[in-house]
Structure 1
Amino acid sequence: MRVLWLYAHPDPRSLNGALRDHGIAVLREHGHEVRESDLYAMGWDPVVRAADFAHDPAERMDVLTESERALNDGTLHPDIRAEQEKLLWSDTVVVQFPLWWFGMPAILKGWFDRLFVQGFAQGVLDPVTGRARRYGDGGLVGRRALVITTVGANAATTGPRGIHGDLDEVLFPLTHGTLWYSGMTPVAPFVVNGAVALSDDEYTDAATRLTERLVTLPDADPIPFRHQNGGDYDPHLVLRDDHAPGETGVGIHQATDGVHCGRTGGDTEAPR
């Protein structure tokens, strides 16, 4: 595998830092290539600005239009181009972060905001049909993605009946709305609960589990999200009535009902 390890934690001595170092070492020991994007260490600017697109700040800016123009004429800001090149080099992306306020740290959200410009990860059209390529197709198709996150809360409270909400649903905007939308194929997230007060034995267990996940990553089953253009959705992109009949919620966008027409293919962590 050619792995881009995307990492967002402000302290390399943290639990996340230890897991990152362990995970990258495991991948390299098994012959995989790894490139890193340590956003805090890089001083990554998460804010979309006119300068990203060599746009005159005195003029009104349409972000989608200007980002696509800059992509096509080679005037995207150099730090965006450098990160896009890493992403295009990879066939596997690891996205690692502590869960803060039920989402990614702002610096990581800003990485996606700045990189996933029109014509690169969104707004990619099928040249034959003219239809948007997204949700299982698109500019980043062919890449596997693994989310690694640490959570302060215990597993029961982030389960289906837990007060914090089911963690798969909390991560849905990332796994489905960002990774799957842009064409990447996400696998089940790797989660470490109880991160604020993890014991040495619990860390050893987490590291062992991470080793297993990374070693088996090339053959891991993807999350069975439905393809937008695979036949499961009507022309208005609403799930057809014969799929998950009578059900609602984000879970209906996984093909767990035995009918699937798609192609195969809170608590926050304190630094430790």
Structure 2
Amino acid sequence: MKVLWIFAHPEAGSLNGSLRDEGVRALREQGHEVRESDLYAMGWKATVDRTDVAFDSGGDEDGGDGRMVVGDAQEAAYRAGTLSPDIRAEQEKLDWADTVVLHFPLWWFGPPAILKGWFDRVLVQGYAQVVTDAEGRTRRYGDGGLAGKRALVVTSVGARESSFGPRGVHGDLNGVLFPVHHGVFWYTGMEALPPFAVYGANRRFTERDFKEYADALRARLEGLESDTPLPFRREAGGDYDADLVLRADVAPGRTGIDAHYDENYGAHYDENVPSVPR
């Protein structure tokens, strides 16, 4: 298996940095190939601007008045092979990989800005999203430029585990990570695996605490090829109507995030994933 480990934490000596080292080591010991993108260490530029593309004010990628239309400009540069070298290098890693591990601390209920910038700059129109099939239909939500790949979130949160439960004050972790799982992974065609979360990360971990999480991470990584992905509904699977709304006979009475999971599985997937021993 070929794994791309994308790491977004500013401190290599942090809990996350140590877990990243353990995870990469475990994968290589299991015989997998691993490539890494350590975004802070790389000095990754998080903001989209005109330096990302070979911008031509007279082309189709602008509004006809010299304004940059971001999606169109990115697609034009992607097709012309003129995206900036750092973006092309990340796309080459994605092309190589069959599995992506996205490793980040959960800050303000989402990934750090540097990782959001990686999404914005790398997963461009025409490459990962807004791609079409032979009949001109847009491929997304279960299909797309990255279809066939698997993806796993490894994250840490400062709060206790119970506060991220179905009735916890922070909301279910399922809902918190929905924008990444469904809006990034599934939208581009990647199958999202149930996440691996480290809770209480703001406290001082003992050696025993760290070993428990490191062992649990190693065990989760053994299932990268075999674990059941989150069962999101495919846009082209027949459950959605022409307005991209669930048909009335699909998941009747269910709304919000829960409705976009197959009812035979349920949205609260945490109970389907072995917890870290305590």
In 2, distance between residues paired with 1:217 and 1:191?
Answer: 15
In 2, distance between residues paired with 1:120 and 1:180?
Answer: 15
Alignment counterpart, residue 198 of structure 2, candidates 189, 192, 202: 192
2:119 is the alignment partner of 1:115: no
In 1, distance between residues paired with 2:262 and 2:144?
Answer: 20
Q: Verify the 8 A CA contact 1:143 1:183 in the aligned structure 2.
A: yes
2:180 is the alignment partner of 1:143: no
Mapping 1:222-261, distance limit 5 Å: 222-257=229-264
Q: Verify the 8 A CA contact 2:5 2:101 in the aligned structure 1.
A: yes
1:204-244: CA deviations, max 9, x gaps?
11111101110121101000001000111111111112222
In 1, distance between residues paired with 2:195 and 2:265?
Answer: 23
Mapping 1:15-94, distance limit 5 Å: 15-55=15-55, 59-94=66-101
In 2, distance between residues paired with 1:165 and 1:119?
Answer: 34
Q: Verify the 8 A CA contact 1:50 1:56 in the aligned structure 2.
A: no
Which runs of at least 4 in structure 1 moved beyond 2 Å after TM superposition? 56-59, 256-259
In 2, distance between residues paired with 1:41 and 1:56?
Answer: 32
Q: Verify the 8 A CA contact 1:224 1:256 in the aligned structure 2.
A: no
Q: Which runs of 5+ in 1 are unaligned?
A: 260-272
In 1, distance between residues paired with 2:77 and 2:259?
Answer: 37
In 2, distance between residues paired with 1:150 and 1:196?
Answer: 9
Q: Verify the 8 A CA contact 1:151 1:191 in the aligned structure 2.
A: yes
Partner of 1:203: 210
Stretch deviating more after TM superposition (192-201 or 209-218): 192-201
SS in structure 2 opposite 1:145?
Answer: strand
Give the share of equivalent positions with the same residue, in percent.
58
Partner of 2:60: none
SS in structure 2 opposite 1:196?
Answer: coil
Partner of 1:7: 7
Q: Verify the 8 A CA contact 1:244 1:257 in the aligned structure 2.
A: no
Q: Verify the 8 A CA contact 2:231 2:265 in the aligned structure 1.
A: no
What's the TM-score once normalised by structure 1's chain length? Answer: 0.92
- Cα drift, residue 256 of structure 1: 2.3
CA RMSD, aligned part only? 1.4
Give the structure, 1 or 2, with the largest relative contact order (CA under 8 Å, sep 6 or more).
1
- Alignment length, in residue pairs? 258
2:259 aligned partner, one-letter code: I
2:125 is the alignment partner of 1:125: no
Stretch deviating more after TM superposition (233-242 or 134-143): 233-242
Q: Verify the 8 A CA contact 1:54 1:76 in the aligned structure 2.
A: yes
In 1, distance between residues paired with 2:249 and 2:265?
Answer: 11
Stretch deviating more after TM superposition (248-257 or 97-106): 248-257
In 2, distance between residues paired with 1:217 and 1:53?
Answer: 35
2:97 aligned partner, one-letter code: S
